[in-house]
Every structure is written in C-alpha cells, then in structure tokens.
C-alpha cells in the first residue's frame, strides 16, 4: 500500500518545481546551514568521506560542491589493459544484457524500446540494434562524477527533454518506460570497439547535468530537443581517455551505456542489483588475431 502511494505521488507532485528549488538551494553558500545539511546527509547515507580529497563537510561552500566532490588519487584504480572497458560510475547495476527486438530491460516485467530511449533517432537506433546495454543507478551516497569506459572521440550530443521521475528500484518496477520518459543527455562516441553511447538520465531533484566539454547542459529546461555535433579530427576534436571524467550529476541519477553488436563481451562478474565502483571491469573487447603472411619456404 505504501509503495502504491509513493508511485501515485511521483505522478502528481510538481517534480520540475521541486527540482528547480533543490538546485537553487544546492548552489547557495549558506555557511553553518550548508555545513549542517552536508553533515546530516553524510550520516544519513553513510557517505565515505575518507575517499574524498576534502574529508571534512566544513570544507565545502555549497551542497553541490560536496555532492560533486573529487576523490583522492588512486581511490578508483582504472584497469590498464587496452582491451578492457571499465565501469563509468559508482552505483548499482540496475539491468544489463542484450538489446533484443529493439527492447531493453528496465525491470522484471518492464521493457522499453531503443527507439524511445534515443528519441526516435533512427540512425543512432540502427547502430545499436542487437547490441548490449548496461544501466548503472547512482544512489545519494555514491560518487557522482561519470567517467569514460574506454578511449573515445565525441561525435555528437543530444539533449532530450522529459519527465523528472525519481529513479530507483521502486520506480523502475512501477513506472513504464521510465528511462525513455525522463530527461536525458545522450553522448555518442567513436571508440576502439566501435560506436558507444553514454546516456546520463535526469531525475527528481537532479539539479544539473554537466559535461566537461560543454559545462552545464541543464538547467535551464527549455522543453526542446537540442543537438550538438563535433569534429572527429583536428584541434577542436574532443578526445577522452579511459577513466577520464566526462560529466557529472548534481543530485542524481543513472547512466546507460550502449554497445554495438559483437563489439564487446560484458564482464561475467556483473549482476543485476550488485554494487559496483568506477574503474572496475565492465566489458572486454575481443582481440583480433591476424594471420601472419606465409614465407616462400612454407608454401
């Protein structure tokens, strides 16, 4: 009964107004009040501050400074093998697996379409037909910067306006097409394993989504779709290495990765509802062994 009430609230509460209010408050330098809120948050969500560059809640002037806190060097080791892709964020694996018949699994009994997730961009959707997906949910206690799973060159970025439903296990199981309905930022990269999409999904109280090359993408929320295209070569090309930060959430939410068919094999250690850390193994790119030319004496 309580869960039904919570879902009903998700449909009727003024989500955008609450999100804008939270974003406004999270940017304010309120002295002792900010320090108190951060301290209470750390205790309530058991945030591991020993990993942070600044361990004391008093070191942060705003709540957003705290929420997007950088970690100490070495806190998240990155796998160095070239054929190994790493997880882009701390969090919990919500779902993962094959994209079958244009559908991704949201939760048991709930699917959503690749076309809807990619805002009916047919060319992009065809790229990832029969590919793989991984959905990582970031809880309030997690580190909220998002990193690159592998080397990549940014090809385009697409902002899709939408709802701001909360993203958690309860809403995944009860709000149809959750990730295709919520606001999201789709970043398409060319990588050594082919095209890869990294999608940052907004949610209630997610005050902002940012990237390192663009800065704040939202807010403001104009309610219109926006697209940016980037050069693949030259000094203006945006090149990122495996483990580099590519974006961040200010209060929230979820990262979805898409890979093309036969481009990678997902790590067999990944399981739905398992906790993961950025830098751990996400997938392996098959190593192609080329036949060496035969010498004349072997013919």
Spatial separation of the C-alpha atoms in residues 254 and 90, rounded to whole Å: 10
Q: What is the maximum span of the chain, computed from C-alpha positions, in angstroms?
A: 82
Q: Cβ neighbours of residue 136 under 8 Å, at least 6 residues apart?
A: 87, 88, 89, 91, 92, 93, 94, 254, 255, 256, 257, 276
Give, in degrees to the nearest 5, the angle at Cα 198 between 196 and 200. 165
Q: Cβ neighbours of residue 15 under 8 Å, at least 6 residues apart?
A: 163, 164, 165, 204
Alpha carbon dihedral 52, 61, 222, 136, in 10-degree steps, equals 20
Instruction: State the catalytic residues.
Output: 90, 147, 253
Spatial separation of the C-alpha atoms in residues 106 and 102, rounded to whole Å: 13
């Amino acid at each position: 009964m309580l869960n039904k009430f919570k879902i009903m609230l998700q449909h009727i509460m003024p989500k955008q107004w609450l999100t804008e209010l939270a974003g406004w408050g999270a940017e304010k330098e309120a002295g002792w009040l900010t320090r108190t809120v951060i301290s209470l948050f750390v205790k309530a969500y058991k945030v591991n501050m020993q990993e942070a560059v600044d361990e004391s809640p008093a070191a942060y002037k705003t709540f957003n400074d705290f929420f997007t806190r950088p970690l100490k060097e070495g806190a998240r080791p990155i796998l160095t093998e070239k054929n190994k892709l790493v997880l882009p964020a701390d969090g919990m694996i919500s779902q993962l697996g094959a994209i079958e018949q244009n559908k991704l699994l949201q939760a048991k009994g709930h699917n959503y379409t690749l076309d809807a997730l990619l805002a009916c961009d047919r060319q992009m959707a065809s790229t990832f037909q029969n590919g793989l997906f991984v959905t990582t949910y970031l809880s309030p206690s997690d580190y909220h910067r998002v990193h690159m799973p592998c080397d990549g060159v940014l090809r385009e970025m697409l902002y899709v306006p939408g709802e701001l439903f909360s993203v958690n296990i309860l809403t995944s199981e009860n709000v149809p097409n959750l990730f295709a309905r919520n606001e999201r930022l789709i970043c398409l990269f060319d990588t050594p394993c082919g095209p890869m999409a990294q999608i940052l999904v907004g949610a209630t109280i997610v005050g902002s989504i940012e990237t390192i090359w663009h800065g704040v993408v939202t807010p403001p929320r104009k309610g219109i779709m926006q697209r940016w295209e980037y050069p693949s070569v030259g000094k203006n090309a945006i090149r990122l290495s495996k483990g580099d930060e590519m974006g961040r959430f200010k209060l929230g939410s979820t990262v979805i990765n898409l890979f093309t068919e036969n481009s990678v094999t997902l790590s067999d250690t990944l399981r739905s509802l398992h906790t993961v850390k950025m830098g751990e193994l996400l997938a392996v790119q098959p190593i192609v062994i080329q036949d060496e030319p035969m010498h004349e004496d072997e013919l």
